[in-house]
Amino acid sequence: MLEGKRVLLVISGGIAAYKTLDLIRRLRERGVGVRTVMTEGATHLVTPLAVAALAGNRVATDMWELTPEGEIGHIHLAREPDLVVVAPATANLLAKMAHGIADDLASTLLLATDRPVLVAPAMNVVMWEKPVTQSNLATLRARGVRQVGPGVGSMACKESGAGRMAEVAEIVAAIEAILVPAGPLAGRRALVTSGPTHEPIDPVRFIGNRSSGKQGHAVAAALAGVGAEVTLVSGPVALLDPPGVRTVHVETAREMLAACEAALPVEVAVCAAAVADWRPAEALAHKRKKCEQPVGAIALVENPDILATLSAAGERRPRLVIGFAAETEDLEGNARAKLRRKGCDWLVANDVSPGSGTFGGERNTVLLVTAHELERWPTMGKAEVALRLVERIAGHLRG
């Protein structure tokens, strides 16, 4: 899809600069021509030699270096690409972009370019949450600058929260969405569920699980990246809403089912949420005291089965229904049994056994099970799992 496209990658001085080496490699694999510009700060984090070796051409770092300026010229660099990507986009560089400051090669190129610009912000959570940073981003978005990320999680500074640069696969998907806007799922509607559900015991406590929602959110973003019109129904998660996706926030399984039914009809439904199987028969109006009832006295009732309901939706049934199964043992056997029991078309089985790091982590190990096939995918990032799944979805719907 990206064969022959040209990208100018501006690397600024955030610790996430190391991820740009993989970004360059992924783009080159897809036939993209990549030119690179590095700020002085970026050169202290990754070497221009490594960047140049992967990009296949010289790195531009200094506007006053005569040879590159004479051969290429910063204006030519700014006008040559199909897209300018800033990754990582530090708070400092975003501020320069918002206020038209051009005091080095990177900021001058960004002011001089007339091409689409995509930024991948990356910074400490406190810097990200500062009103001035959010104001700068709002200004840039109003001017047409696109944004991917940031994500939420632990950072090199030992703090945690929003501000992690988007994963490489997410940035690649965002690039594809800009450069190939009429993607293979353009005009098709998709539904994705993500995260846990919280079933209230009282106003303070709930029954829940460890799902982070990272895999479901990645699937929603990947579907939007290939042109689909996506509704994401998300349980309580510490994640930002994916760009280009209509997100509906819910708490309980019953709320999630209602939101899913309201989103129909769709062509594909991906049920990645970890929905609680049971809920308290009665949610107390006040906080339950230890002395009120003995341990184990909470009466439970079964929650609605969202995957099975969508799989048996009659005329409103999606053309393709995909379920997820979190298993700690006998991955294949349990996945095949769930596929038959739920009536869905495909099942993605996650290994969530102790030590796997799947819940809350960045990587996933899955099996894709259909009525006639079994695929064992290698362990990979959740964004990569999402892209691979979406490629299969697109191929199936085309067929």
Residue whose C-alpha is closest to residue 347's, from 271, 255, 242: 271
Residue whose C-alpha is closest to residue 373's, from 331, 345, 397, 334: 345
157 noted as active-site residue: yes
Residues contacting 243, CB < 8 A, separation 6+: 146, 147, 148, 174, 221, 224
Other CB atoms closer than 10 Å to residue 321's CB: what's the count?
Answer: 24
The residue from 157, 260, 271, 291 that is catalytic is 157
C-alpha–C-alpha distance, residues 86 and 78, integer Å: 13
C-alpha–C-alpha distance, residues 379 and 358, integer Å: 10
- 109 φ, ψ to 5°? -60, -45
Interaxial angle between packed helices 19-29 and 48-55, expressed in degrees from 0 to 180 and rounded to the nearest 10: 10
For 349-387, give one letter per residue: b (16+ CB within 10 A) or e: bbbbeeeeebbeebebbbbbbeeeeeeeeeebbbbbbbb
CA–chain centroid gap for 307, Å, is 22
Active site residues: 157
